[in-house]
Amino acid sequence: MHRIQSCIVTVEDVETRPKRRRADTVERLLDAALETFAEVGFAAASVEDICRRGGFTRGAFYSSFRSKDELFAALFTRETARNLARAEQQLVGIEHAADPVATAVERCLSTLRADRTWVLVLMEYRLHAARHPEAAAALRQHADEMHARLAALIDAAAPRTGLRLTVSSDQLARMILAVHDGAVVQQLPDGRDDAAELQRTALLLLLRSAVTT
């Protein structure tokens, strides 16, 4: 019986090992792409550049993705999921704060600061999408999904604080991201020290005007 169980475990390991390897390859390709796009831009980056940085062959790339655009779609999904998970965690317990709005801003600023590289890459892809209709359509779909998920977080958090929104959660989600992206872009060329404070002030003004008791 023990021998049979050992064989079964061995077979399961053999079946799952390629899946784990492929998942690891995809993650490493996404990491390499994020760094490469941030360094040279989406349009200028080649598949070879990404493979070289990640230590892969072109075959490894094309066994996972059909194109750079498909890779970017996977990167968008991963980075969005990570950022929304951080934001959701930061919003836990804000209803117990003396000033839920200020607390939400302070907590979420740490999450927003953590994705500056991603914002740069996203800006690069937006420039690409402005010149390529298919990329623009795909980006719009991804962005709509992200806004919907952020709006869902807002819808879940607002009632816990006893506050009501004066605008739709979708509008607020889009405005929050616009403020964040704008502040990051201001910092990118010269690392302006006042951009972080500007972002904090803008988010506070935005949220305080978007809720009521």
pLDDT given at position 112: 65
- 81 and 53: one domain? no
Q: Domain range holding 142?
A: 68-213
- 122 and 194: one domain? yes
- 40 and 82: one domain? no
- 25 and 128: one domain? no
**Alpha-carbon distances of 182 from 23, 179, 189, rounded to whole Å:** 34, 5, 12
pLDDT given at position 14: 47
What's the total number of domains in the chain? 2
CATH number (domain holding residue 144): 1.10.357.10
* Residue 45 falls in which region: left (phi positive, over 0), alpha (psi -120 to 50) or beta: beta
DSSP code of 88? H
Which residue type, as a one-letter code, is found at position 5? Q
The series of mean pLDDT values per 10 residues for the chain, 213 residues long, is 51 60 90 94 94 93 94 93 88 91 86 74 91 93 91 92 93 90 71 71 92 87
- 127 and 78: one domain? yes
